[in-house]
Structures are given as C-alpha cells and as structure tokens.
Amino acid sequence: MNADLQLHIIASLLRRGRALDNLSTGLTLLSLALGLSQLWFAPSGLLMSWVVLLVVLGLGEKYYALRVAFDAELFQKLADDPANLTRNTRALDQALAAFSLQPADKAGRSWPLRSQGALKLLRQQVLLLALQIMLLLGALLILPWLGRMR
C-alpha cells in the first residue's frame, strides 16, 4: 500500500474522533445535569463523587479529542501532497519542534510509527469514552437503589 493512501486512511480514522467527542460532550453535560438535580433534591456525597469522576473523564476525553483532531488535519494535509512527502515531513518536524509540540528526538520518525502513535491517541479517547459510558450507566442503575435506602 502506498504512503499517501495510508495517510488518507489514518486521517479518515482519526476524523471519527469528532463523533466520539460529541458523544462524550453530551454525556458530560448529562452527568452535570444529573449531579446538579440530585444536589438540589437529595444531596449525596457518593453521587457527587460519581459526577465529579464523570466530568473528569469527559475533560480527559476532550484533551485526547483535541490531539486526535490535530493529527487528523496534519495527516490529511500531508496525504494531499504525496509527491512532496519527504520535504513536508521535515518541515512538519521543524514546525512541531519550534512550537514545542514534539520532542526533537522524535523528528524523522517513519509514517507507520507516527500512524501507530496517532491511533494510540484515538484508542485512549475511546477508552475514556467507554469508561464514561460505563460509569454513567452504573450511576443510572444504582441511583434508584440509593433513593430507596433513605
């Protein structure tokens, strides 16, 4: 498989991170609404801990979403000009180093290595979203039991 096609595929995969981020943002807002409503009606330290954890997971997911979106744009830009990939890669490494976005020792990595790193960020984003979903579902399942115990 040629390099420009690989870059297009990785860029396409990374762009899926936007949908994950939208879902996470909705879950974070739902968590906040759930926590605030419970705080208003029946304050519970356990529930507030749960809400804080959900929001922290949402913020962590947002961090990875920003990094994944940035990588998606870079991969797409380089995939659009395959004839100058080597020159553009050097220019990219210099620009990233100039803005302290990449350590100098990571310059000159192959595109398969860079692709693995970018996909690892996407997996981290998926993991945080999955944790957020499981924790929110757990809260929704346990919440009625907490109300009965009072």
- Please report, as a single letter, which amino acid is at residue 90: R
Instruction: Give the tokens for residue 94.
Output: 């210099």
pLDDT tens sequence across 110-126 = 999 999 999 999 999 99
- Say if pTM beats, i.e. exceeds, 0.75: yes
Strand segments, DSSP code E, in 3-143 are: none
pLDDT tens sequence across 51-105 = 889 899 999 999 999 999 999 999 999 999 988 999 999 999 999 988 898 888 8
Q: Put residue 108 in one of left, alpha, beta given phi > 0 → left and psi -120 to 50 → alpha.
A: left
Domain extents in the chain? 3-148
